């Protein structure tokens, strides 16, 4: 007889799927990217200094889908950006506004390209 699969208690479930936490990750990643760019540091340079891959740093800066980041990585990033870790993690209303503006612009671009691709495919079918 097959035993039922145990379910995890609520406190042990993956919290990275939570939309509030995802918003935090997106804004933190956007903040890291903005500071890095303002200092003229490339993703490759920062990832080399921190000791992570460039693709992981890219995922960190994009935010969504990231399954958490270690405190050690955040500490190294803040050190390389010449910030304290509390300055890096402090997300102010201004940070959320910049992040939301960036995301809405990115969403509009994505929707524009989807529409353009759909129109192109429709025209090629007519020929």
Q: What is the DSSP string of 32-97?
A: HHHHHHHTT--HHHHHHHHTS-HHHHHHHHH-TT-----HHHHHHHHHHTT--HHHHH---HHHHH
**Where are the chain's structural domains?**
13-126
Predicted TM-score (pTM) of the model is: 0.65
pLDDT digits (tens, 9 = 90+) for 60-112: 888 765 667 888 999 999 999 999 988 888 877 777 777 777 667 666 767 77
d(C-alpha 111, C-alpha 68), whole Å? 28
Structure token pair of residue 86: 């509390």
For residues 81 and 10, which has the higher predicted lDDT (pLDDT)?
Answer: 81
d(C-alpha 34, C-alpha 99), whole Å? 10
Q: What's the mean pLDDT when you consider all of the chain?
A: 78
Class of domain 13-126 as given by CATH: mainly alpha
């Amino acid at each position: 007889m097959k035993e039922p699969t145990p379910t995890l208690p609520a406190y042990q479930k993956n919290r990275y799927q939570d939309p509030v936490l995802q918003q935090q990750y997106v804004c933190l990643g956007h903040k890291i990217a903005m500071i890095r760019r303002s200092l003229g540091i490339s993703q490759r340079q920062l990832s080399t200094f921190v000791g992570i891959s460039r693709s992981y740093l890219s995922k960190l800066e994009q935010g969504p889908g990231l399954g958490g980041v270690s405190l050690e990585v955040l500490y190294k990033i803040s050190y390389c950006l010449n910030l304290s870790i509390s300055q890096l993690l402090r997300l102010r209303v201004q940070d959320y506004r910049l992040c939301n503006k960036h995301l809405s612009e990115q969403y509009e671009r994505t929707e524009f390209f989807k529409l353009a691709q759909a129109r192109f495919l429709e025209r090629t079918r007519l020929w």
